[in-house]
Amino acid sequence: MLNIDLRSQLQTYLRNIRRPVELIVSRGGSQTSHEMVTMLNEIASLSDLVTVVEEQHDDERRPSFSIRQVGASAAIQFAATPTGPEFSSLVLAILQVGGHPVVADRTTIEQIRTLQRDYYFETYISLSCGSCVDVVQALNMMAVINPRIHNITIDGGIFQSELSARDISVVPTIYMNGEVFGEGRSSFVQLGAKLLDIEMSMRAALRAASKS
């Protein structure tokens, strides 16, 4: 799937990995699943620090894969074969899970580190969506920064039944802990500010409840 030029560029990028990374695959029986596994194996062949591991869990979307540091829990997941614009999201996630520094607004990074609640994001995209990339990369960065944040990127072209069940007509659409969090293009700073506001409101509500 990866041409010679892309393999060469990718091999150069993967030299920035500082610690071992596992790509945890939950495959299905479709052609899409085969293409996903093929692509991940090609990526892993370019670095001794990247390994593909197959695991099956009944509650997972298939095909899908997670990216995790060896010995840690996975916080970034793709229910997709991230090609086109989203290929850069995949590569960046591998690098950042592998220890390459997150480069983003420092104030927002520090705010994300302070979050104390669990946040599970489901980000619905299409592989032709130009505005989805910023959202996917922003939420993945947050998952790297704070282990209480998890993001799964879901290709609506594969999981069309979910789009119908949730009446999703716009991508990207973000769900957080089962509720709609946002639609359309958003930056790392914008998403971080919104998440911080939610947490501060929750803390204030808990303080008020404890005094009543």
Residues 44-96 pLDDT 10s: 999 999 999 998 776 679 999 999 999 888 899 999 999 999 999 999 999 99
Task: Give pLDDT tens digits for 185-202.
Answer: 999 999 999 999 999 998
Neighbour count for residue 175 (Cβ, 10 Å) = 19
- Structural domains in the chain, CATH included, are 4-211 (3.40.30.80)
Q: In 10 A of CB 106, how many CB atoms?
A: 8
How far apart are alpha carbons 212 and 204 in whole angstroms? 13
Rounded to a whole number of angstroms, the distance between the first and last alpha carbons of the chain is 61
Question: How far is Cα 95 from Cα 103, in angstroms, rounded to an integer?
Answer: 12
- The SS3 call for residue 98 is coil
Q: Which residues pair with 24 in a beta bridge?
A: 53, 66
> Distance between CA atoms of 22 and 44, rounded to whole angstroms?
9
User: Is 0.85 surpassed by the pTM of this model?
Assistant: yes
What mean pLDDT do residues 29-33 have?
89
Packed helices 4-14 and 31-44: angle between N→C axes, nearest 10 degrees: 60
